[in-house]
C-alpha cells in the first residue's frame, strides 16, 4: 500500500514536474519570441526598426530606440534573421522617378534613393517643380520625399549601399556605327553596369527597368561578374509597362508586373525578393515570373503589338476617307468583338513617345540579326505606316489650302505626343511642323505643358538625337524665324488661316470655336489630327473641317491629297 501510494505520489510529482517544465518552456519560448520580435523592431545602430519578420525583406523606418531599450538588446545574430532592403534606382527620368515614388509610397518600410547624373533633373525632383508632368505625381512625391524617398546626385554612394539596384537609364536608338537607326544604344546601360561592379562591396540584385534588347542581361552579367570581387550579382528583368499621362494610376494598379530571372536557386531567391516588394500592393496573381529572355522580349513585343494596333487603325483611316466610311464607326464595330476589344483603336495623326518607334526598330534589328528578314519586315511596316500617316496629314493640310501654305499662319494646338504629359520625344507634331515649315508656313504653337525652348530644340534636332544627353543636342536655336510659341489657344489661332490639333488635350474639346473662327482668316480651316472636335458643329460655325478617317468635307474632296 505504502509502495502503491508512494508510486502514485511519485507519478503525480513527475507529471507535475513535466507540466511545470512544459509551461516553463512555453513561457520561455513566448518570452523569446517577444524579445526576438522586439529586437527585430529595435535593432540597428541608429535605433530604427529595420525588420519585418513575415516578409524578411523589409526595412522599416519608425521610431528611434530609447536608450533603455537599446541596452536590453538580446544577443541574437540578426543578420540571418532579417534581410534589410535598400533600393537605389539609377535614372531619375519618366520611368525611374514615378516608379520609385510609388514603391516608396506603398512600402514605407523600404528606403528608396533615385540617383542621376543630371544636375537639373535631381534639383527639380527636390523642388516644388518636378521635372516631369504626370497627373498625381506631385502628391505621391510630396508624401514620401524626405521620409523614405530621396533624389540624389551621389550615384556611387547610394549604389554601393543598396541591396536592389534598378537601372532605368535611357536606351536610345543608335545613331551611328553598326545597327545605326535601328539597334538600341546601350552606352548608358553599360556604363551603369560597370559603375555598379566598381563600387559594390556587397551582394546585389540588379534590375533591368529600362527597355533593352533580348539577351542584354547576359551581357550585363558578364560585365558584373568579370569585375566582381567575390560579390554575387543577380540580374533580373522587370520591364516597365506604364504609359505616360497615366503613369501613377498604371503603377498603383498595374495590369501585370513582370519579373524575369535565372532559373537557379540564386535567381529564384532574387525573383522572390523583388516579388515581395511588389506584393505590398500588387495582387499576387498579377505578378508574372518568367525566365530572363521572356521578360526582356515581352516588353518589346507588348510595345510592338500596341503600336501595330495604332498603325492598323490608321491604315484603315486612309481607306475610310477614300470610301466615305467613318473610322470611329469601324473601330467601334471591330472593337465590339471580344477577341479584339475596344482599346487602342483611335485613329490619329500617328503615334509618338520615346518607346514605340525605338522598341520596334530594336525588334526589327534583333529579327534581322537572327536571320528572320520576313519577321523584321512585318514589324518595320508598323513604323512605315506611322510615317505615312504624318505625311498624309501634312499633304492634306497643304492640298486643302490651295496647294500652298507659304506665308500663311497655321495654329498648332498641342505639341506633346499625347495628352497629360509634357513629353515631346518622337511626337508626331515634330514631323507635321517640319512638313509645314518646309512649305514655308508660319507656325504659332500652343501646348499647355511644353516650353518654347523645348519646341525649338525639338524642331532643330536631328532624328534620334532627342534621347541623347543634352550636351549632344542643339542649344536653344533661334534659327526658325517663322515660328512663335504662345501660351493660349486663342492667341495661337488669331489671324491664322488654319488650326491643326495635334494633341488630344481635354481643353481643346471645350474651346470657344466661334470666337476662334471670328478671329481667323477666311476660309477658316480646322485639321483635327486627334478627332477631338465635333466636326458637324464646327461646320455649322463656318469652318472647313478635316477629321482623320471621317467622310470628307465637299471642299476637301475636290482637293485630293496624295501622300
Ligand X SMILES: NC(=O)c1ccc[n+]([C@@H]2O[C@H](COP(=O)([O-])OP(=O)(O)OC[C@H]3O[C@@H](n4cnc5c(N)ncnc54)[C@H](O)[C@@H]3O)[C@@H](O)[C@H]2O)c1
Active-site residues: which are they? 355
Distance of closest approach, residue 91 Cβ to ligand X, in angstroms: 3
Q: For residue 244, which of 132, 345, 144 has the smallest C-alpha distance?
A: 132
Cell numbers for 286: 498579377
Q: What is the rounded distance in angstroms from the CA atom of residue 270 to the CA atom of residue 202?
A: 14
Q: For residue 550, which of 313, 309, 312, 318 has the smallest C-alpha distance?
A: 318
Q: For residue 161, which of 113, 119, 122 has the smallest C-alpha distance?
A: 113
Q: For residue 248, which of 139, 111, 124 has the smallest C-alpha distance?
A: 139
The residue whose Cβ lies closest to ligand X is: 93
Which residues of the shown chain bind ligand X in the complex (CB under 6 A)?
90-96, 115-118, 121, 155, 168-171, 188, 191-192, 210-211, 240, 242, 244, 354-355
φ/ψ region of 173 (left if φ > 0, alpha if ψ in -120 to 50, else beta) reads beta
Cell numbers for 55: 516578409
**3-class secondary structure, 287:** strand
Distance of closest approach, residue 184 Cβ to ligand X, in angstroms: 8
Q: What is the rounded distance in angstroms from the CA atom of residue 96 to the CA atom of residue 104?
A: 12
Between 122 and 492, name the residue whose CB sits nearer to ligand X: 122
Between 355 and 443, name the residue whose CB sits nearer to ligand X: 355
Between 57 and 237, name the residue whose CB sits nearer to ligand X: 237
Distance of closest approach, residue 227 Cβ to ligand X, in angstroms: 16
Question: In the 8-state DSSP scheme, what is residue 89?
Answer: E
Side-chain half-sphere of 367: how many Cα atoms within 13 Å? 19
Peptide bond connecting 541 to the previous residue in cis, omega within 30 degrees of 0: no
The residues with which 233 forms a beta bridge, in sequence order, are 204
Q: Which residue has the cell 510630396?
A: 142
Between 60 and 307, name the residue whose CB sits nearer to ligand X: 307
Between 55 and 170, name the residue whose CB sits nearer to ligand X: 170
CA distances for 234 relative to 69, 218, 221, angstroms = 37, 11, 8
Strand order, beta sheet including 204-208: 149-152, 111-115, 86-90, 164-167, 204-208, 233-237, 257-261, 287-291
Residues 6 or more apart whose Cβ sits within 8 Å of residue 554: none
Q: What is the rounded distance in angstroms from the CA atom of residue 37 to the CA atom of residue 31?
A: 10
The residues with which 237 forms a beta bridge, in sequence order, are 208, 260
Q: What is the rounded distance in angstroms from the CA atom of residue 415 to the CA atom of residue 427?
A: 7
Q: What is the chain's alpha carbon radius of gyration, rounded to the nearest angstrom?
A: 30
Q: What is the rounded distance in angstroms from the CA atom of residue 169 to the CA atom of residue 167?
A: 6
**3-class secondary structure, 473:** coil
Distance of closest approach, residue 292 Cβ to ligand X, in angstroms: 16
- What is the separation of C-alpha 378 from the centre of its chain, rounded to a whole number of angstroms? 26
Distance of closest approach, residue 151 Cβ to ligand X, in angstroms: 11
Between 4 and 343, name the residue whose CB sits nearer to ligand X: 343
Distance of closest approach, residue 467 Cβ to ligand X, in angstroms: 6
> Angle at Cα 188 formed by Cα 183 and Cα 189, nearest 5°?
80
Between 94 and 527, name the residue whose CB sits nearer to ligand X: 94
The residues with which 289 forms a beta bridge, in sequence order, are 259
Q: What is the rounded distance in angstroms from the CA atom of residue 131 to the CA atom of residue 94?
A: 9
Between 118 and 482, name the residue whose CB sits nearer to ligand X: 118
Distance of closest approach, residue 241 Cβ to ligand X, in angstroms: 7
Amino acid at each position: 500500500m505504502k509502495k502503491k501510494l508512494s508510486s502514485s505520489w511519485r507519478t503525480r510529482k513527475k507529471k507535475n514536474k513535466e507540466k511545470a517544465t512544459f509551461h516553463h518552456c512555453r513561457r520561455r519560448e513566448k518570452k523569446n519570441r517577444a524579445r526576438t520580435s522586439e529586437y527585430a523592431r529595435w535593432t540597428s545602430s541608429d535605433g530604427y526598426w529595420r525588420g519585418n519578420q513575415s516578409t524578411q525583406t523589409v526595412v522599416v523606418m519608425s521610431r528611434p530606440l530609447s536608450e533603455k531599450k537599446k541596452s536590453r538588446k538580446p544577443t541574437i545574430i540578426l543578420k540571418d534573421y532579417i534581410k534589410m532592403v535598400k533600393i537605389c534606382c539609377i535614372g531619375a527620368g519618366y520611368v525611374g522617378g514615378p516608379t520609385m515614388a510609388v514603391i516608396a509610397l506603398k512600402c514605407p518600410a523600404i528606403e528608396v534613393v533615385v540617383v542621376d547624373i543630371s544636375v537639373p533633373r535631381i534639383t527639380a525632383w527636390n523642388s516644388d517643380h518636378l521635372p516631369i508632368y504626370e497627373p498625381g505625381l506631385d502628391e505621391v512625391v510630396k508624401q514620401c520625399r524626405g521620409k523614405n524617398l530621396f533624389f540624389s546626385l551621389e550615384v556611387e554612394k547610394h549604389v554601393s549601399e543598396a541591396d536592389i539596384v534598378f537601372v532605368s537609364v535611357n536606351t536610345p536608338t543608335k545613331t551611328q556605327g553598326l545597327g545605326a537607326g535601328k539597334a538600341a544604344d546601350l552606352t548608358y546601360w553599360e556604363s551603369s553596369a560597370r559603375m555598379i561592379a566598381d563600387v559594390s562591396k556587397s551582394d546585389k540584385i540588379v534590375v533591368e527597368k529600362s527597355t533593352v534588347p533580348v539577351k542584354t542581361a547576359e551581357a550585363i552579367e558578364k560585365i558584373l561578374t568579370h569585375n566582381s570581387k567575390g560579390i554575387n550579382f543577380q540580374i533580373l528583368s522587370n520591364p516597365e509597362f506604364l504609359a505616360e499621362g497615366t503613369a501613377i494610376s498604371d503603377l498603383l494598379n498595374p495590369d501585370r508586373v513582370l519579373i524575369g530571372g535565372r532559373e537557379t536557386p540564386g535567381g529564384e531567391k532574387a525573383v522572390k525578393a523583388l516579388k515581395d516588394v511588389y506584393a505590398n500592393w500588387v495582387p499576387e496573381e498579377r505578378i508574372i515570373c518568367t525566365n530572363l529572355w521572356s521578360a526582356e522580349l515581352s516588353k518589346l513585343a507588348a510595345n510592338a503589338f500596341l503600336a501595330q494596333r495604332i498603325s492598323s487603325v490608321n491604315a484603315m483611316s486612309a481607306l475610310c476617307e477614300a470610301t466615305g466610311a467613318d473610322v470611329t464607326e469601324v473601330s467601334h464595330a471591330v472593337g465590339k468583338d471580344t477577341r479584339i476589344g475596344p482599346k487602342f483603336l483611335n485613329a490619329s495623326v500617328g503615334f509618338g513617345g520615346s518607346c514605340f518607334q525605338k522598341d520596334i526598330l530594336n525588334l526589327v534589328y534583333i529579327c534581322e540579326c537572327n536571320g528572320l528578314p520576313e519577321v523584321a519586315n512585318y514589324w518595320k511596316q508598323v513604323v512605315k505606316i506611322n510615317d505615312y500617316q504624318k505625311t498624309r496629314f501634312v499633304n492634306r493640310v497643304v492640298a486643302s489650302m490651295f496647294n500652298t501654305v507659304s506665308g500663311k499662319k497655321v495654329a498648332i494646338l498641342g505639341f506633346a505626343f499625347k495628352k497629360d504629359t509634357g513629353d515631346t520625344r518622337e511626337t508626331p507634331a515634330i514631323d507635321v511642323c517640319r512638313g509645314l515649315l518646309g512649305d514655308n508656313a508660319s507656325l504659332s504653337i500652343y501646348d499647355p505643358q511644353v516650353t518654347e525652348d523645348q519646341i525649338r530644340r525639338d524642331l532643330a534636332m536631328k532624328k534620334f538625337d532627342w534621347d541623347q544627353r543634352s550636351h549632344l543636342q542643339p542649344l536653344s536655336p533661334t534659327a526658325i524665324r517663322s515660328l512663335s510659341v504662345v501660351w493660349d489657344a486663342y492667341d495661337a489661332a488669331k489671324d491664322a488661316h488654319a488650326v491643326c490639333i495635334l494633341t488630344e488635350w481635354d481643353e481643346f474639346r471645350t474651346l470657344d470655336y466661334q470666337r476662334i473662327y471670328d478671329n481667323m482668316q477666311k476660309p477658316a480651316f480646322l485639321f483635327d489630327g486627334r478627332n477631338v472636335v465635333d466636326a458637324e458643329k464646327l461646320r455649322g460655325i463656318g469652318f472647313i473641317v478635316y477629321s482623320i478617317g471621317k467622310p470628307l468635307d465637299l471642299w476637301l474632296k475636290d482637293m485630293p491629297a496624295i501622300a
